């Protein structure tokens, strides 16, 4: 695998961690980072995440063909703006690390049309509540899933190259088309973030709860609430951008959630009998769904 | 504190762990356990959780006055049946470990009327996904919150005795009236369990999600889904009993949740502008609510 020159466009936690992984596996690789702030530039140079750091404001469009691999590690919205500037020939492989796929893949497909290209969209399923290159760690991608999405007209060799690249970094890979990716992630990732945030705000809006909470110096609740609120309100800029890109599937998942929760609520109506069997079957169904989705109890 | 003889009526994880705590702090205390199954009896004797174990089926009503402290560690429904059998005089202190308070406290108040008594309802805020005396551990109550609810006509000395008892066991205590307890716990504990269970079932009902999930041997999702699903479907018998006792406050909390989630869903309508500021303010509100409720970020 030839990896002499890599550009990482946008270097926060994800891009910075990828730089460290590349340093570990391909010590000869020359890494160029493109960032927006002087602060990031300073961090990247002092942590030696890249050999060169360029500020976005100081640069015209880069000469993409100088690189074996270009990694877009910025929000999807800004990737969409870059796609129409990419070269239509050459051997450079392009990947992004975006959390949604449909808008990116559609942009790639409409830009390249029937022309063969080397753009593979990827989604490494990892991250952290921390952000920025300061938080970068070498093993972020080790033993994590990386989802690969191949746009129409992407070459088969580029897909295999990208698959090998992620496997060398330590990830395991699967392929999904862009719609399956965005729908599945709506249910398994985006909806849980919304639900956690709303849960905290519902408790926060209840007068008696907050009166009790503010009256004491220790938390009232145990592990259940702590787990259910961990991701609440995290990373607003990142999540708002994800919700915007995936709003249709997210809305559908919320509608499904409201439907099922309303059915449960109706079991608690004052004038209807308390249907323990129905509740028990919902609990048992959740046990088996949980085991299947988490691949463990 | 005189604690020569204690009866623990119902000895699973909670009662068994309390027996171990008492053994640690009051080594001279003679503990009697009342249980339903031969299997529990066997476990309790082999783990030396109690000096005597009586099967419920072998026993008429116990002579409560033989004990300094009686602890009811059974579901609330069965506590409600026992309350009308308690003595109306004597020095025995009665407590329960029930997860809801209003039905228990109402039963105590209607039984004793204006007569002074020694029944204090308590709720140690701990537990585990495990159950049964086998899972009992000595430090379960250490550094945990125990909520004390004093029914009308309970003596002030019994309240202080019970407070000291829990503090000796290692818990820190606060007082709440029964309605505040049940409403607060609906929002901070019961609703989160419902939401976690529904979340897993919503994902489980989505065809594309489950198609992707069943196609691979490792979990697709990272820490967010794992945290949000940990309590899903757990302990059906215990939770169904809690929901039954607290159905009005739980229904109210679900209605609040559906209301706020519907407001969020409406931000994703296909024909309305995407209001990033509104979303950002929801996320920031969640950050501050979370910090206040968890007493940490």
Question: Is residue A142 domain-shared with residue A235, that is, in the same domain?
Answer: no
Are the beta carbons of B274 and A187 separated by less than 8 Å? no
**Contact residues, chain A, for B208 at CB < 8 Å:** 179-180, 183-184
Question: Is residue B94 domain-shared with residue B217, that is, in the same domain?
Answer: no
- With CA atoms as reference, the chain A residue closest to B228 would be A228
Average pLDDT of B63-70? 96
**Contact residues, chain A, for B295 at CB < 8 Å:** 217-219
Q: Could you say which of A220, A228, A295 has the minimum Cβ distance to residue B195?
A: A228
Helix (H) or strand (E) holding B132, with range, is: none
Average pLDDT of B180-195? 97
Low-confidence ranges of chain A (pLDDT < 70): 128-130, 297
C-beta of residue B198 within 8 angstroms of C-beta of residue A187: no
Task: Please report, for the domain that includes residue B250, its CATH number.
Answer: 1.10.3660.10
pLDDT of residue A129: 59
What is the ipTM for the molecules in this complex?
Answer: 0.92
Q: Tell me the three state secondary structure of residue B143.
A: coil
- Domain contains A118: yes
- Domain contains A285: no
pLDDT of residue B60: 83
**Contact residues, chain A, for B254 at CB < 8 Å:** 261, 264-265, 268
Question: Is residue B186 domain-shared with residue B171, that is, in the same domain?
Answer: no
Question: Is residue B32 domain-shared with residue B169, that is, in the same domain?
Answer: yes
- Domain contains B297: no
pLDDT of residue B221: 82
Are the beta carbons of A183 and B216 separated by less than 8 Å? no
Are the beta carbons of A205 and B256 separated by less than 8 Å? yes
Strands B145-149 and B119-124, bridge-based pairing: antiparallel
- In this predicted structure, the answer to whether residue B128 has a pLDDT above a threshold of 80 is no
Distance CA B89, CA A139 (A): 67
Could you read off the pLDDT of B237-254 as tens digits, one per residue?
Answer: 889 999 999 999 999 999
Question: Is residue A72 domain-shared with residue A164, that is, in the same domain?
Answer: yes
pLDDT of residue A99: 92
Where among A161, A176, A191 does a domain terminate?
A: A176
Residue A267, min C-alpha distance to chain B (Å): 9
Q: Domain span at residue A134?
A: 5-176
Are the beta carbons of A184 and B232 separated by less than 8 Å? no
- Domain contains B271: no
Q: Could you say which of A214, A227, A258 has the minimum Cβ distance to residue B292?
A: A214
* Band of pLDDT at residue B27, cut at 50, 70 and 90: very high
Residue B100, min C-alpha distance to chain A (Å): 14
Distance CA A4, CA A32 (A): 11
Question: Is residue B250 domain-shared with residue B124, that is, in the same domain?
Answer: no
Are the beta carbons of A264 and B216 separated by less than 8 Å? no
Are the beta carbons of A292 and B213 separated by less than 8 Å? yes
Nearest to A220 by CA among A229, A233, A210: A210
- Domain contains A273: no
Look up tokens 């940990």; give the residue. Answer: B230
pLDDT of residue B288: 97
Are the beta carbons of A243 and B283 separated by less than 8 Å? no
* Band of pLDDT at residue B283, cut at 50, 70 and 90: very high
Q: Could you say which of A189, A203, A215 has the minimum Cβ distance to residue B293?
A: A203
Q: Could you say which of B194, B261, B290 has the minimum Cβ distance to residue A232?
A: B290
Question: Is residue A197 domain-shared with residue A224, that is, in the same domain?
Answer: yes
Question: Is residue B132 domain-shared with residue B17, that is, in the same domain?
Answer: yes
- Domain contains A210: yes
Could you read off the pLDDT of A175-212 as tens digits, one per residue?
Answer: 999 999 999 999 999 999 999 999 999 999 999 999 99
Complete DSSP assignment for chain A: ---SEEEEES-SHHHHHHHHHHHHH-TT-EEEEEES-HHHHHHHHHTT--SEEEEGGG-SS--GGG-SEEEE-S-HHHHHHHGGGS-SSSS-EEEE--S--HHHHHHHHHHHTTS-B-EEEEEE----S--SGGG--TTTTTT-EEEEE--TTB-HHHHHHHHHHHHHHT-EEEE--HHHHHHHHIIIIIHHHHHHHHHHHHHHT-HHHHHHHHT-SS-S--HHHHHHHTTTT--HHHHHHHHHHTHHHHHHHHHHHHHHHHHHHHTT-TTS---HHHHHHHHHHHHHHHHHHHT--
- Domain contains A280: no
Question: Is residue A172 domain-shared with residue A220, that is, in the same domain?
Answer: no
Question: Is residue B123 domain-shared with residue B44, that is, in the same domain?
Answer: yes
Where among B148, B176, B204 does a domain terminate?
A: B176
Give the bridge partners for A149, in sequence order.
A121
Question: Is residue A170 domain-shared with residue A192, that is, in the same domain?
Answer: no
Where among B149, B176, B203 does a domain terminate?
A: B176
Helix (H) or strand (E) holding B6, with range, is: strand B5-9
Task: Please report, for the domain that includes residue B53, its CATH number.
Answer: 3.40.50.720
Are the beta carbons of A243 and B268 separated by less than 8 Å? yes
- Domain contains B192: yes
- With CA atoms as reference, the chain B residue closest to A178 would be B208
Question: Is residue A19 domain-shared with residue A119, that is, in the same domain?
Answer: yes
Number of domains composing chain A: 2
Distance CA B182, CA A110 (A): 57
Are the beta carbons of A251 and B232 separated by less than 8 Å? no
* Band of pLDDT at residue B144, cut at 50, 70 and 90: very high
pLDDT of residue A59: 86
């Amino acid at each position: 695998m030839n990896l002499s020159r890599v550009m990482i466009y946008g270097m926060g936690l994800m891009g910075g961690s990828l730089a460290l992984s590349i340093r570990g596996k391909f010590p000869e690789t020359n890494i160029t980072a493109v960032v927006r702030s002087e602060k990031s530039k300073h961090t990247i140079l002092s942590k030696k995440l890249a050999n060169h750091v360029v500020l976005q404001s100081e640069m015209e469009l880069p000469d993409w063909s100088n690189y074996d691999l270009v990694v877009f590690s910025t929000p999807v919205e800004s990737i969409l703006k870059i796609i129409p500037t990419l070269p239509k020939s050459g051997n450079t492989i392009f990947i992004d690390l975006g959390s949604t796929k449909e808008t990116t893949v559609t942009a790639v497909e409409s830009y390249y049309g029937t022309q063969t290209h080397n753009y593979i969209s990827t989604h490494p399923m990892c991250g952290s509540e921390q952000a920025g290159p300061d938080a970068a760690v070498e093993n972020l991608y080790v033993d994590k899933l990386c989802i690969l999405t191949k746009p129409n007209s992407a070459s088969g060799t580029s897909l295999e190259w990208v698959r090998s690249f992620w496997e060398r970094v330590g990830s395991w890979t699967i392929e999904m088309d862009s719609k399956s990716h965005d729908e599945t992630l709506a249910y398994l990732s985006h909806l849980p973030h919304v639900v956690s945030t709303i849960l905290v705000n519902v408790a926060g809006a209840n007068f008696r709860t907050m009166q009790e909470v503010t009256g004491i110096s220790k938390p009232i609740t145990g592990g259940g609430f702590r787990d259910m609120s961990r991701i609440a309100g995290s990373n607003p800029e990142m999540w708002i951008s994800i919700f915007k890109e995936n709003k249709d599937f997210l809305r559908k998942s919320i509608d499904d959630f409201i439907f099922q929760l309303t059915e449960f609520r109706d079991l608690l109506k004052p004038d209807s009998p308390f249907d323990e069997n129905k509740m028990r079957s919902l609990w048992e169904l959740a046990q088996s769904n949980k085991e299947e989705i988490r691949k463990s109890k």
